[in-house]
Each structure stands twice: as structure tokens, then as C-alpha cells.
Amino acid sequence: MEIFFTKLQGNGNDFILIDEMKENIIPDLMKGQFAGLYCDRRYGIGADGVLFVSGSEVADVRMRLFQPDESEAEMCGNGIRCLAKYAFDMEYVKANCTIETESGVLSVDMEYDSEGEFSAVIDMGEIIFERTRIPAAGSGNYCEEIDGRTVYAVNTGVPHAVVFTGDLNILPVCEIAPKIRHHESFPKGANVNFVEITGKDEIAIRTFERGVEDETFSCGTGSTASAAVANYLNKTGNVVSVTTKGGPLTIFIDDGRARMKGPAVTVFKGSISF
């Protein structure tokens, strides 16, 4: 069976996209296995996840994301920009559209600038600090000491842990993050973001992603979570410039909700036998 795919990336957070607008290409029970096989960077195509775009009864299109560990993620900020770009390029949607995710229906505004560069603004939805809704153990807003570090938790589509630190360049992220990602305080696990305040309304972050089980070049929901916590603690204002390893994002915070602006790029197209 020949399966056509498109490879896209948002700030270096890269995805394989499978178009299921006309028919179900990969059976639902095999989507996780497919992601495990083809996200492998040596024996597969290589990616941080596999996006599936399909029709929706409640939005213009639907997004599902399966990760290298074969799990399904509720949402992905960089992934939704990549999927939006593909859907826009294929004329499945207009410049203003809605996308159904496991975290709900989100609105997207996108455009190409005069130089042909694509960008999208995603309504990331409600910023959730309440522990029971993150989910995180206990009640009320979440702040806890884990392995000697102050950890804040928030849900911006998926659960996130946010840790403020000094120089990110010398931080052993992959050594520290798993202890927080797997901590009993997070019954569904959490992405772990390390945040450095770099200027007025500016932060830099490094993110260890649940499901990828490694540091990624960028995380859209992680950037949103980090900006939200920084704003909540009055470390920044309502418009936050976020620098990730893969490039910049802008987070807008207004009345308990967030929007994210960033790029997406089509890398290449191909086919595989499955």
C-alpha cells in the first residue's frame, strides 16, 4: 500500500502529515503504531509526531496527533499551525478557519506575507491553572517543590510544568526533566518547560515533551504555558516574545485566554510503502 505524506515544521518542531480528508488511510487502531515506526529518525521518516487531517462535524477540519511513543496528544501548538498551513494550501479551508482537536475547537487566522512567508495566529483557548483540570494532584492553583525546584503547572491544551531558571545554555534538560514529567503529581504526565527571563516581556524556553520523551526544538503549547505562568507571576506583560531553540513565537494573553503567532514551513512531500 502506497501512502502519501507531507513533512512540515514549525520552528523546528517537525511532523509527518497524512491527509484523510477523503478516506481513512491508516486504521485508527494502527495510528499509534504508524507514528512509532515513521517518527524514528534513523529507520523512518523522522518527526516529533504524525498529524492526521480529516473532516469534522463541528469545525472546518479535524486534527489528530500521534507521538513517537504511540500515544495520542490532546493538542499541539506547532502542529496545529503546520496542519492549518497544509489545509490552507490544499484549499480545504480559508484564511480564517476552525480546527477540531482533542482539546476542543480552536480558531485560526493565517496569511502569506509579501515575501511568501506563512504565519498563523492560533486561539489557544482557556489558560487552566486549577489543579483538578490540568490534571495535577491536590486542589487550587498548582505550585510545588519537585526535586528541589519550584514547579508551576498549567494546561494550555496539554498539561505543562514550568520551572524558572538561570542560564538555559548550561541546563541538563534531559537529565532533570524526566523526574518532573513522571512525578506522581501529574497523573497524565506533563511536558516540562525551563524558562529564563531574558528581557522586558521576553523569555527563552527549552521543552522536554511528553510522548516524544526528549527535548524538542520548539513547543507551541509549552511556549504558551511558559508565557502564561510568567504573566500570572507578573514577570511579563500580556504580549510575550518567546525564544525557542527553533525560533521565535509571540504569545498574546487576554482575560484568561491565549493566542499564539508563529510560522510553519512545508519541508517536502513523499510516499512510503506500508
Q: What is the DSSP letter of 71?
A: P
Over the stretch 183-217, which tens digit does the pLDDT of each residue have? Answer: 999 999 999 999 999 999 999 999 999 999 999 99
Catalytic residue chosen out of the listed positions 76, 97, 143, 174 = 76
Class of domain 128-255: alpha beta
Extended beta strands in 22-133, E state: 49-54, 61-66, 72-73, 96-101, 104-112, 118-126
Over the stretch 146-183, which tens digit does the pLDDT of each residue have? Answer: 989 999 999 999 999 999 999 999 999 999 999 999 99
Kindly tell me the sign of the dihedral angle through the C-alpha atoms of 45, 47, 49, 53.
negative
pLDDT of residue 142: 76
pLDDT at 139 over 80: no
210 is in an annotated binding site: yes
Q: How confident is the model at residue 143 (pLDDT cuts 50, 70, 90)?
A: confident
Task: Please state the domain extents for the chain.
Answer: 2-124+262-273, 128-255
pLDDT of residue 15: 98
209 is in an annotated binding site: yes
Could you tell me which residues are beta bridge partners of residue 106?
99
**What architecture is the 2-124+262-273 domain classified under in CATH?**
Roll (3.10)
Q: What is the mean pLDDT of residues 98-121?
A: 97
Q: Is 128-255 in the same CATH topology as 2-124+262-273?
A: yes
Q: What is the mean pLDDT of residues 23-32?
A: 97
219 included as an active-site residue: yes
User: What is the per-residue DSSP string for 166-234?
Assistant: S-GGG--HHHHHHHHHT-TT-TT--EEEEEEEEETTEEEEEEEETTTTEEES--HHHHHHHHHHHHHTT
Q: What is the mean pLDDT of residues 239-261?
A: 97
10 near 74, Cβ under 8 Å?
no
Looking at residue 247, its amino acid is G
N- to C-terminal Cα separation, the chain: 5
pLDDT at 58 over 80: yes
84 near 118, Cβ under 8 Å?
no
Catalytic residue chosen out of the listed positions 39, 82, 97, 219 = 219
pLDDT of residue 273: 85
pLDDT at 239 over 80: yes
Q: What is the mean pLDDT of residues 16-20?
A: 98
39 included as an active-site residue: no
φ, ψ for residue 146, nearest 5 deg: -130, 120
Over pLDDT 70: what percentage of the chain?
100
13 is in an annotated binding site: yes
